[in-house]
């Protein structure tokens, strides 16, 4: 607030001095002009009276000639005063308006508001540096999960875009370079509520700058970086980044997973989707010869993963020298000639993976025309093209920003989910298929909420108390509906961690202990109902024993007596 007041005062010096001088001149002049009252006595305005008259004249209110009608010299002086003071006022008002519209002042005000918002934010929050496609995707997911976030971006237009987006929470935004220490500090990296930083700019250098600044200012804070080049990724990891995400490599790996075992892909996609978003079950991609259009960083990762799976891949690339492609067919892929040359008729799948959405759709459409049975994988670069991709109905559509935001959430928001996904990757395909089918059947096609529970006094007081009494609490108690114990809750326990032991196949008769961590997925209604059993001893008691116990001391005593 201070800096704004000083800025305004400094700029207002000239108009204010001008105003004071004009008032002084007008007032002195008015007191000197001789007047004659209705009885013919000569009179002069006193200084106080002159101040009164000039005050209402200068502000264009105009009460008239007070206390007596003015004489000619007084009127002449008033005429002069009117123009003098009114112009001075207009000048001052104009100056204030210009000042309000000035970018420096506007920026000072928004920064002030931002730092106030951060100071009042008394909840854990995450910091997003860079608000592009990935940032908005991640922010949407965080908002949906009731997690607070702060956004920094260097581009004001993008932040304006954020302001008009429909979010549940008010999201503080700051326009500035996140690599600057001052900007990071204003955004609250030293706040004890800051739980982690996401450096998501599409410029590796900007992300590296954030990593460097953070490693010096607050090395303990978890940091997730996006990096497109391997050398940059290594640099960031060296700066102490918790995880570095390479969207291209992740994308290639994901396609590799999809080809190796589609169930793994489906389960992961279902679990990590934004809760409530529709999830599409993908049919298994065929094995055979594939065509990959575009051999950029994305294409390279895809080809490497395909070859790792023992799948032959034919590459189509428009500029082989630039991309360093030795054995490929030259062309864009959207024209039939190139695709026929690449052997579209006997290929089983095609990946349209250039960085141009329309080109990708063009390739996919031409390919489907030439070979209607081909499995089409498209890369979606921009969120705003989503309707086009929905109309086209590719067999598999991959969006870089979504992949990155999934990984971000996994690393910083749901550490147990990341553990579970890592364990799942090592499971056989039929195990994953079974779990996936059960989950979809039990919970639904929409992506579920996932939540973690740590057994302890802080988060589950009811369970802790029951355990302290020496009673056993089986996992089953957390899976039944407190209002109707015959009914199961629409949730599934995925992972149980006790000390260093991680278990995935969970039976309902598993006995819980203090300090256990559990990961669940399910509907949000199930989470709310489960919460009752965690917090309310009576509810838990009812779930364990099936009878409603008396609450109050008197009733308890009475029941004990009558049972004896």
**Coil/strand/helix, residue 492:** strand
Greatest C-alpha distance within the chain: 117
Q: Does 28 bind other proteins (CB under 8 A)?
A: yes
CA distances from 476 to 459, 463, 489, 511 (A): 18, 13, 10, 9
| Burial bucket for residue 192 (CB in 10 Å: 0-12, 13-18, 19+) | exposed
Q: Which x/- pattern, by CB under 8 A, does the window 64-83 give for other proteins?
A: ---x----------------
Q: Measure the CA–CA gap between 193 and 119, rounded to whole angstroms.
A: 10
Q: Does 93 bind other proteins (CB under 8 A)?
A: no
**Coil/strand/helix, residue 245:** strand
DSSP state of 409: I
- Interface stretch with other proteins, choices 8-16, 175-183, 284-292, 297-305 (CB under 8 A): 8-16
Minimum CB separation from other proteins for residue 68, in Å? 11
Among 37, 48, 106, 503, binds other proteins (CB under 8 A): 48
Q: Measure the CA–CA gap between 375 and 394, rounded to whole angstroms.
A: 8
Element (H, E) at 358: helix 357-370
Strands (E), 432-548: 449-454, 480-481, 484-488, 491-498, 501-503, 517-522
Q: Does 6 bind other proteins (CB under 8 A)?
A: yes
Q: Count residues binding other proteins (CB under 8 A).
A: 22
Helices (H) and strands (E) in the chain, counts: 24, 20
Q: Measure the CA–CA gap between 26 and 98, rounded to whole angstroms.
A: 27
* 150: nearest Cα among 177, 120, 114, 179: 114
Q: Which is nearer to other proteins, 6 or 555 (CB)?
A: 6
* 73: nearest Cα among 23, 25, 26, 29: 29
Minimum CB separation from other proteins for residue 14, in Å? 9
Q: Does 21 bind other proteins (CB under 8 A)?
A: yes
Q: Does 12 bind other proteins (CB under 8 A)?
A: yes
Subset of 279-318 contacting other proteins (CB under 8 A): none
- Interface stretch with other proteins, choices 18-26, 249-257, 324-332, 424-432 (CB under 8 A): 18-26
Q: Which is nearer to other proteins, 23 or 298 (CB)?
A: 23
Q: Does 24 bind other proteins (CB under 8 A)?
A: yes
- Interface stretch with other proteins, choices 48-56, 73-81, 155-163, 385-393 (CB under 8 A): 48-56
Contact call for residues 346 and 319 (beta carbons, < 8 A): no
Minimum CB separation from other proteins for residue 2, in Å? 8
Supply 145's token pair.
């999960």
Q: Which is nearer to other proteins, 48 or 560 (CB)?
A: 48
* 125: nearest Cα among 94, 156, 146: 146
Q: Which is nearer to other proteins, 44 or 158 (CB)?
A: 44
Minimum CB separation from other proteins for residue 27, in Å? 7
Q: Which is nearer to other proteins, 2 or 563 (CB)?
A: 2
Q: Which is nearer to other proteins, 21 or 330 (CB)?
A: 21
Q: Does 52 bind other proteins (CB under 8 A)?
A: yes
Among 46, 60, 161, 345, binds other proteins (CB under 8 A): 46
Among 34, 37, 47, 434, binds other proteins (CB under 8 A): 47
Supply 514's token pair.
């203090």
| Residues engaged in binding other proteins (CB under 8 A) | 6-7, 9-13, 16-17, 20-21, 23-24, 27-28, 45-49, 52, 67
């Amino acid at each position: 607030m201070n800096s704004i007041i000083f800025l305004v005062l400094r700029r207002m010096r000239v108009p204010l001095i001008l105003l004071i001088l004009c008032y002084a001149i007008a007032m002195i002049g008015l007191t000197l002009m001789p007047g004659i009252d209705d009885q013919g006595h000569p009179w002069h305005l006193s200084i106080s009276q002159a101040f009164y008259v000039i005050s209402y004249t200068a502000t264009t209110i105009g009460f008239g000639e007070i206390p007596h009608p003015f004489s000619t010299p007084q009127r002449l002086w008033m005429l002069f005063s009117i123009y003098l003071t009114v112009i001075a006022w207009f000048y001052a008002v104009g100056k204030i308006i210009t000042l309000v519209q000035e970018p420096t002042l506007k920026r000072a005000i928004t920064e002030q508001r931002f730092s106030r918002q951060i100071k009042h934010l008394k909840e854990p929050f995450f910091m997003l540096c860079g608000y592009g496609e990935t940032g908005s995707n991640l922010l949407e997911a965080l908002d949906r999960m009731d997690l607070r976030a702060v956004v920094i971006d260097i581009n004001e237009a993008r932040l304006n875009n954020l302001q008009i987006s429909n979010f549940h929470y008010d999201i503080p935004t700051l326009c500035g370079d996140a690599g600057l220490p001052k900007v990071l500090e204003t955004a609250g990296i030293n706040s004890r509520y800051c739980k982690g930083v996401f450096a998501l700019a599409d410029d590796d250098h900007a992300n590296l700058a954030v990593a460097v600044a953070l490693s010096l200012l607050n090395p303990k804070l978890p940091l997730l970086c996006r990096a497109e080049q391997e050398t940059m990724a290594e640099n960031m990891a060296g700066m102490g980044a918790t995880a570095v995400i390479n969207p291209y490599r992740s994308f290639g790996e994901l396609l590799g997973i999809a080809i190796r075992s589609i169930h793994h892909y489906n389960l992961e996609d279902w679990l990590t989707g934004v809760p409530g978003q529709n999830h599409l079950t993908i049919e298994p991609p065929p094995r055979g010869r594939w065509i990959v259009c575009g051999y950029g960083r994305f294409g390279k990762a895809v080809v490497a993963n395909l070859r790792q799976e023992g799948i032959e891949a034919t590459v189509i690339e428009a500029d082989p020298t630039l991309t360093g492609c030795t054995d490929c067919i030259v062309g864009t892929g959207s024209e039939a000639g190139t695709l026929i040359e690449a052997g579209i008729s006997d290929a089983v799948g095609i990946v349209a993976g250039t960085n141009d959405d329309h080109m990708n759709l063009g390739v996919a459409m031409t390919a489907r025309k030439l070979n209607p049975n081909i499995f089409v994988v498209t890369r979606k670069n921009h969120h705003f093209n989503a309707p086009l991709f929905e109309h086209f109905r590719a067999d598999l559509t991959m969006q870089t920003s979504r992949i990155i935001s999934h990984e971000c959430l996994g690393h910083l928001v749901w550490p147990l989910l990341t553990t579970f996904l890592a364990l799942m990757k090592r499971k056989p395909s039929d195990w994953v298929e079974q779990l996936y089918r059960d989950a979809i059947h039990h919970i639904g096609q929409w992506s579920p909420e996932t939540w973690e529970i740590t057994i302890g006094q802080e988060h589950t007081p009811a369970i802790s108390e029951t355990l302290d009494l020496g009673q056993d609490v089986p996992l089953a108690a957390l899976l039944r509906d407190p209002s109707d114990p015959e009914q199961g809750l629409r949730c599934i326990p995925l992972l149980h961690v006790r000390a260093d032991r991680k278990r995935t196949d969970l039976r309902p008769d598993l006995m819980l202990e203090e300090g256990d961590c559990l990961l669940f997925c399910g509907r949000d209604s199930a989470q709310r109902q489960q919460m009752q059993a965690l917090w309310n001893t009576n509810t838990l008691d009812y779930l364990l024993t099936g009878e409603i116990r008396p609450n109050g001391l008197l009733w308890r005593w009475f029941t004990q007596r009558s049972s004896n």
